[in-house]
Amino acid sequence: MIFVQLFYEFFKTGLLAVGGGLATLPFLKEIALRRAWFSVSQLTDMIAVSESTPGPIGINMSTYAGFHAAGIPGAVVSTLSLVLPSYFIILIVSRFLEKFRDSALVGSIFYGIRPATAGLIAGAMYEVFVLSLFDPQAFAATGSVLDLIRMVPIIVYLAALAAVFKLPRVHPIVFIICGAVLGIALGL
């Protein structure tokens, strides 16, 4: 039964998450809230692992989530079900693209998808920001605002932001490696 649930949840995510891997984050958060496969706090781990491994982030995250839910078979089911909608949509679009390439309606539809995609990615960015820098569970337990704010990640984030603007010619891989080292060293 878990494989049918995995297939359904990730097929739906693959069908509706327009805009790439980060657009899957709101869907993954909803899955975490409804199912016991992984927790909302594990989403930051999923993001870190997915960003640091080769391949598209959405597929990597679905594989990670499926593995947590049902081991290797769960990883395979969740990955395939996330990819299937895109595969079928590309097959259908490729059949009709030549015929409707110059259609004003098709151009308008693709133009209209852009703001929705930007909104999904902005929502995902907000979710990552909140998960990384704030701890609502600790706040709910104690009621103290000081427990809500994770000071070390905020300081690291501000330092990284300053470094990006002060050192614009440094290769991005340097920032990724520094982020990984700091994350491991500080337990972020």
Exposure letters 154-182 (e unless 16+ CB within 10 A, then b): eebbeeeeeeeeeeeeeeeeeeeeebeeb
92 and 49 within one domain: yes
| Residue bearing the bigger pLDDT, 25 or 98 | 25
Q: Are residues 90 and 172 in the same domain?
A: no
Looking at the fold, whether 15 and 40 belong to one and the same domain comes out as: yes
61-80 average pLDDT score? 91
* Same domain as 124, residue 143: no
Checking if the pLDDT of 188 tops 80, the result is no
Question: What is the secondary structure of 17-42 as a DSSP string?
Answer: -TTSGGGGHHHHHHHHHHSSSS-TTH
| For residue 51, pLDDT beyond 80 | no
Among 90, 108, 133, give the residue marking a domain's end.
133
pLDDT for res 10: 92
Write down the pTM of the prediction: 0.60
User: Binning pLDDT at 50, 70 and 90, where does residue 186 land?
Assistant: confident
Residues 128 and 144 in one domain: no
Q: Is the pLDDT of residue 129 over 70?
A: yes
pLDDT at residue 175, as a whole number: 80
Q: Note whether 120 and 172 are same-domain residues.
A: no
Residue 34 is part of which domain span?
2-133
Read off the pLDDT of residues 76-94 as tens digits, 9 standing for 90 and up.
999 999 999 989 988 888 8
**Cα dihedral 13, 19, 22, 23 in deg (nearest 10):** -40
Average pLDDT over residues 30-36: 86
65 plus 149 within the same structural domain: no
pLDDT top residue among 134 and 18:
134
Specify whether 161 is located in the same domain as 72.
Answer: no
Does 118 share its domain with 53?
yes
Residues forming beta bridges with residue 149, ordered by sequence position: 134
Q: For residue 9, what pLDDT band results from cuts at 50, 70 and 90? A: very high
Judge if 176 and 110 occupy the same domain.
no
